[in-house]
């Protein structure tokens, strides 16, 4: 005689065995998704704070994949008809305690089973009407939504490439027309070239001394234009650095001066540190002069 199963539940199932968790903890999560639709159960597991929810989510996705691939049932027509967790083998371990004793440690395992059923056409119609009333529209499977997004992105990329090629062709044609017009309009004019050279020379001469005589622009590498230019100036801060300044070596000059008097007449000043030193030297010189005068009077 062959035994027949009398408690077999209809539907598509998936099972995860030997999960390292107690059946009690898994049942707390399974109670949340029982009789829920596949989409609703997925949302519940996604936002669940229990660590075992990830394993339950994998089992649910496996059951949905079995239904789509083996039974040709889309995921939006599935719901959790049954889910349960059976106890698996328990691993026995021992923990040493005081006075030579030991206590038992039980590491529980369990087997998770999820069975997905299919909604009837009447139930599907009622669910879709309810979704339309809520404004969410018709439900669609994850694979269909992903396929739709990929096709839309491909269409956008094709349109962008077509627009880029058209713009490139238009720009090339415009450049060709401009070049032809310029070549036609260009004629040798000696007088205009001489006038332009005179204007450029005057501009260069006026720009060579930006702050009057005794000032000059730096060369391309930032060095002085001549040996007589020994003072560096910064246009932004209106500060000049003589050779005895501690910042002289690491300062890149925006303008060069011949003497400190030229720099001060242009509106530049010494750094604060050097101003204090100059004030101290002036005070010391005044004190010495007063002392010398006092000694002469005596």
Stated pTM of the model: 0.44
Chosen domain end from 100, 126, 142: 142
> Based on the domain organization, do 17 and 128 belong to the same domain?
yes
Residue 173 has pLDDT above 70, yes or no: no
List the single range of 18-27, 36-45, 245-254 with lowest mean pLDDT.
245-254
**Most confident option among 6-15, 106-115, 158-167:** 106-115
> Based on the domain organization, do 28 and 126 belong to the same domain?
yes
> Based on the domain organization, do 138 and 16 belong to the same domain?
yes
Nearest to 121 by CA among 77, 64, 66, 69: 77
Q: Is 32 exposed, middle or buried (0-12, 13-18, 19+ CB in 10 A)?
A: middle
Q: Is 112 helix (H, G, I), strand (E, B) or coil?
A: strand
List the single range of 45-59, 92-106, 130-144, 210-224 with lowest mean pLDDT.
130-144
| Cβ atoms within 10 Å, residue 275 | 11
Contact (CB, 8 A) for 233 and 256: yes
Distance of CA 27 to the CA centre of its chain: 41
Nearest to 13 by CA among 76, 69, 60, 52: 60
The confidence score (pLDDT) of residue 2 equals 44
Residue 177 lies in a domain: no
Residue 181 lies in a domain: no
The confidence score (pLDDT) of residue 184 equals 54
Range of the domain at 135: 12-142
Both tokens of 69, joined, read 């691939």
Residue 114: beta bridge partners? Answer: 14, 83
Residue 6 lies in a domain: no
The rounded percent of the chain whose pLDDT value lies above 70 is 73
Residue 147 lies in a domain: no
Distance of CA 20 to the CA centre of its chain: 39
The confidence score (pLDDT) of residue 86 equals 95
Chosen domain end from 108, 142, 176: 142
> Based on the domain organization, do 115 and 215 belong to the same domain?
no
Which CATH number belongs to the domain containing residue 18 in this structure? 3.90.470.10
Residue 65 lies in a domain: yes
Q: How far is CA 219 from CA 203, 233, 234, 255, in A?
A: 17, 14, 15, 10
| Domains in the chain, number | 2
Residue 203 lies in a domain: no
Higher pLDDT, 135 or 43: 43
Q: Is 266 exposed, middle or buried (0-12, 13-18, 19+ CB in 10 A)?
A: middle
Higher pLDDT, 92 or 278: 92
> Based on the domain organization, do 136 and 216 belong to the same domain?
no
Q: From CA 21, how far away is CA 53, in angstroms rounded?
A: 11
Chosen domain end from 114, 142, 170: 142
> Based on the domain organization, do 260 and 138 belong to the same domain?
no
Residue 178 lies in a domain: no
> Based on the domain organization, do 113 and 221 belong to the same domain?
no
- Please report which confidence band the pLDDT of residue 175 belongs to, taking 50, 70 and 90 as the band edges: low
Q: What is the pLDDT of residues 44-74, one digit of tens each?
A: 999 999 999 999 999 999 999 999 999 999 9
The confidence score (pLDDT) of residue 249 equals 79
The confidence score (pLDDT) of residue 80 equals 95
Residue 174 lies in a domain: no
> Based on the domain organization, do 135 and 236 belong to the same domain?
no
Q: How far is CA 280 from CA 187, 242, 283, in A?
A: 68, 18, 5
Residue 29 CB-half CA count within 13 A: 28
> Based on the domain organization, do 18 and 116 belong to the same domain?
yes
């Amino acid at each position: 005689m062959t035994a027949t199963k009398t408690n077999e539940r209809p539907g598509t199932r998936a099972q995860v065995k030997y999960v390292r968790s107690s059946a009690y903890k898994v049942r707390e999560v399974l109670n949340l998704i029982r009789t829920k639709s596949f989409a609703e159960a997925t949302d519940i597991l996604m936002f669940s704070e229990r660590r075992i929810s990830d394993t339950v989510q994998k089992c649910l996705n496996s059951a949905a994949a079995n239904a789509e691939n083996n039974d040709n049932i889309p995921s939006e027509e599935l719901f959790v008809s049954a889910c349960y967790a059976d106890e698996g083998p328990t691993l026995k371990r021992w923990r040493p305690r005081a006075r030579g004793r030991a206590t038992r440690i039980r590491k529980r395992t369990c087997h998770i089973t999820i069975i997905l059923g299919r909604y009837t056409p009447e139930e599907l119609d009622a669910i879709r009407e309810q979704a339309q009333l809520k404004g969410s529209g018709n439900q669609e499977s994850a694979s269909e939504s992903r396929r739709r997004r990929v096709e839309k992105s491909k269409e956008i990329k094709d349109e962008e490439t077509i627009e880029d090629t058209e713009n490139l062709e238009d720009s090339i044609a415009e450049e060709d027309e401009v070049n032809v017009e310029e070549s036609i309009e260009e004629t040798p004019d000696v007088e205009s070239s001489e006038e332009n050279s005179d204007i450029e020379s005057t501009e260069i001469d006026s720009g060579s001394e930006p702050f009057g005589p005794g000032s000059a622009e730096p060369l391309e590498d930032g060095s002085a234009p001549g040996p007589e230019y020994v003072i560096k100036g910064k246009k932004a801060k209106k500060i000049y650095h003589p050779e005895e300044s501690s910042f002289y070596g690491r300062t890149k000059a925006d303008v060069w001066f011949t003497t400190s008097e030229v720099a001060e007449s242009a509106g530049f000043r010494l750094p604060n540190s050097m101003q204090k030193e100059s004030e101290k030297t002036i005070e010391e010189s005044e004190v010495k002069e007063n002392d010398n005068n006092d000694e002469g009077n005596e």
